[in-house]
Amino acid sequence: MSALSSLDLDLYPRSIVSAAHADWALARDKGERRLVALLPAGSPALNELEGERGEHQGRTLVVGPASPHNAEALRRLLPWLAPAPIGTRTSAGMGDRLGLATPGHVRAVRAAAPGVAPIFAQQSIREMSRTGRTPCQVLDDATWGAFEEGWRDGVGADADHLKTPEEIDRCLEAGFTLFTFDPGAFVDGSADSADPVALKQAMEALPWAALEDSPPALAGRYLGRVFDLGPSAVTFDGATLTRAAVKYGAAVAHVKDLSRHLAQAARGRAFEVEVSVDETDTPTSHAEHAYVATELARLGVRWVSLAPRFVGRFEKGVDYIGDLAAFEQHIAGHAAIAAALGPYKLSLHSGSDKFSIYPVAARLARGLVHLKTAGTSYLEALRVAAALEPALFREIYRFACERYEEDRASYHVSARLDRAVAAAASVRDEELPALLDHFDARQVLHVTFGSVLTATDSGGRPRFGDRLMAFLRRSPEAYADALERHLVRHLAPFAPQQ
């Protein structure tokens, strides 16, 4: 039994651990987390921690805040809390827009998929800006949550949808290890329908210098080449190659630039890269995937996962919309390409609540798969609020309906506001949680998270964010239990088969 158990402190029992010649735990103190450490007198670790000092059983007791300083020290002293590259292991990212979801995420991984490598710190720059959080806050919140639940099997940290070198630098400095590059602004979706004249002009206008290439050299590498994918093959004729290059050539160049910047800025630190072209209007064909992967490799980019734009609709917060047979055929080809040209993982973006496709993706990817979820954990927080704080939930719902038409602009959603408003009309308090299962209501709540969390009243005071956070801090078990139940459904299909 740890010596910490004899202290008159309200410890999180799963957090107690002996390591680095010391005993460690997290304690509750008036709704706040407190770091507790019992170290030998004169331990060098004492210089790394901030907090009050005392004596206990001949050792030095430190009780300090769950501060950025102590979170950083904890990642050094308890290395399993420090993010590290995951590689091609089956993995899942569980974004947390509130900073309170990690305990529930840990429980879901333990319950459903202990062999899946977790990424508890995952957030895009877009989400950080909308919630008013920083990369350091995202990483620290995940650290404290993992420590609280006693997670000791390693973690990743995903700086999602990065578009500029400046964004890379911010997340690198914070300690992230997975960098997801989003070159969507450089993808030319018009290539799918452009006529031959327009395609020829667009081909000539590609950034050939940045691609370290030329049209004749490109043609020499691809025309007549067969990409053997086992049960199928990809070949390039002139039209197929031109459309692939026009659609994705500038994006390839941008990823190359971001990758080289990251490699230089990292100064030898371990990192890994994901490439995302999912937030585009048209699907990624198998030939286009082969082109992107081949060109990135030629330019020296190394990546562990790639997110194509799949057929069908991956809308936020709801199940897959489309023909499941067509999706199965489409992802089968992409999985074959990832295995043959890598191996690397297929990444399922906007992966929350896509229950109908999880078994297909897991089976065809054969472990080379990464699932990304994010907003679904925020929605589960609102479900708990709907059950336990109905008045607060009603205020948030009305405000979300007011904000929806503006906030939906940067998301793939098709919810109709009139249906969302009608769904909540005359709903009794005990029926409110069911709104989180209603298609239109769910999407309205999903995309308005930033407005809800940062809204202020006429006096500049937060309208909802502080109240929602205070409620969740008063109800940590209710939130963690809800998250575990919900995320288990996401993770179980991806659990490695014994």
* CATH code of residue 166: 3.20.20.70
Residues 237, 290 share a domain: yes
Q: Which pLDDT score, from 0 to 100, does residue 2 have?
A: 72
Q: Is the same domain home to 105 and 240?
A: yes
| Residue 386 shares a structural domain with residue 448 | yes
Domain containing 331 equals 80-189+220-374
Q: Which of 177, 155, 161 is nearest to 92 (CA)?
A: 155
What stretch of H or E contains 156? strand 156-162
Q: How far, in Å, are 128, 172, 391 from residue 457 at the CA level? A: 21, 35, 17
Q: What whole-number distance in Å separates Cα of residue 441 and Cα of residue 168?
A: 35
- 463 and 330, same domain (yes or no): no
| Separation between Cα atoms, residue 411 and residue 409, nearest integer Å | 6
Looking at the DSSP bridge assignments, the partners of residue 419 are none
Please say whether the beta carbons of 316 and 124 come within 8 A: no
Degrees to nearest 5, angle at CA 459 with 458 and 462: 90
Residue 303 sits in the same domain as residue 421: no
From the list 62, 91, 79, 99, the residue with the least C-alpha distance to 175 is: 79
Residues 62, 84 within the same domain: no
Q: Give the pLDDT of residue 31.
A: 83
- Do 450 and 407 contact (CB within 8 A), yes or no? yes
pLDDT at 231 over 80: no
What is the rounded CA–CA span in Å between residue 454 and residue 460?
10
pLDDT at residue 339, rounded to an integer? 96
Euclidean distance between CA atoms 58 and 81, whole angstroms: 28
Q: Are residues 103 and 114 in the same domain?
A: yes
Write down the H helix ranges in 193-233: 196-204, 208-211, 215-222
What digits encode the pLDDT tens for the residues 15-74? 999 999 999 999 999 889 999 999 999 999 999 999 999 999 999 999 999 999 999 999
Please confirm, yes or no, whether 160 is among the known catalytic residues. yes
Closest CA to 299 of 334, 255, 360: 255
Quick check: is 201 in a domain? no
Same structural domain, 116 and 177: yes
Tokens of 343: 């191996």
Residue 214 in any domain: the answer is no
Distance CA 101, CA 31 (A): 16
Query: Can you tell me whether residue 239 is helix, strand or coil?
Result: helix
CB of 317 within 8 A of CB of 446? yes
Kind of pairing between the strands at 117-124 and 52-56? unpaired
* Same domain? 280 vs 396: no
d(CA 73, CA 262): 24
The Cα 476–Cα 31 span in angstroms is 10
Over residues 291-319, mean pLDDT = 97
> Which pTM value belongs to this model?
0.97
Domain end call among 67, 89, 122? 67
Structural tokens at position 296: 């990135």
- Average pLDDT of the segment spanning 117-146: 96
Residue 196 within any structural domain of the chain:
no
Instruction: Tell me if 241 is assigned to some domain.
Output: yes
281 is catalytic: no
Q: Is residue 208 part of a domain?
A: no
User: Does any domain span residue 342?
Assistant: yes
Model pLDDT, residue 250: 98
| Cβ-defined contacts of 215-221 (< 8 Å, 24+) | 218/245, 221/294
Instruction: Report whether pLDDT(390) > 80.
Output: yes
Of the residues 141, 148, 160, 315, only one is catalytic, namely: 160
Contact between 417 and 401 (Cβ < 8 Å): yes
- Domain-embedded: residue 292: yes
Residue 1 has pLDDT above 60, yes or no: no
User: How many domains are contained in the chain?
Assistant: 3
CA pseudo-torsion sign 487, 489, 491, 492: positive
Same domain, 53 and 119: no
Write down which residue in 346, 374, 402 finishes a domain: 374
Tokens of 99: 């900073």
Q: Is residue 27 part of a domain?
A: yes
Looking at 343, 374, 405, which one is the last position of a domain? 374
Token pair listed for 201? 């002009």
Q: Which residues contact 317 (CB under 8 A, 6 or more apart)?
A: 352, 353, 375, 376, 379, 413, 442, 443, 445, 446
pLDDT category at 498 given cuts 50, 70, 90 is low
pLDDT for position 60: 96
Dist CA 50 CA 88 (whole Å): 37
Average pLDDT of 267-280? 94
Q: Which of 127, 148, 274, 407 is catalytic?
A: 274
Q: Same domain, yes or no, for 353 and 225?
A: yes
pLDDT for residue 128: 96
Same domain, 87 and 9: no
